[in-house]
Amino acid sequence: MTNDSDKPSKPSSSAPLKQPRNPLHGITLETIVTELVAHYGWEELAKRIPIRCFSHDPGITSSLKFLRKTPWAREKVEGLYGFMLREIRRLGDRD
């Protein structure tokens, strides 16, 4: 007969995962796209990440729909967002 205390405990699926080193934790994809568009504009965003949702009749809603279905594109957008934040921080430190 086994004792339940001998079994490793499973993490509760309802408990939120803590990600202290993830700069994107808690930031929605909508916020990311909106801030990228505000910073770069659609034209520059399409140059940096050449996908149709940024270059042909761009919009937040259509871009979000595509990015949620396309992991490789979402990774590129998240990467550019991280770059943008570092760039803003670096330029802010100069002042």
Q: 63: helix, coil or strand?
A: helix
pLDDT digits (tens, 9 = 90+) for 12-22: 555 556 666 77
pLDDT digits (tens, 9 = 90+) for 35-70: 999 999 999 999 999 999 999 999 999 999 999 999
Total domains present in the chain: 1
Structural domain includes residue 39: yes
The domain spanning residue 37 has which CATH number? 1.10.720.30
- Which residues lie below 8 Å from residue 53, measured CB to CB, with a gap of 6+? 62, 63, 65, 66, 67
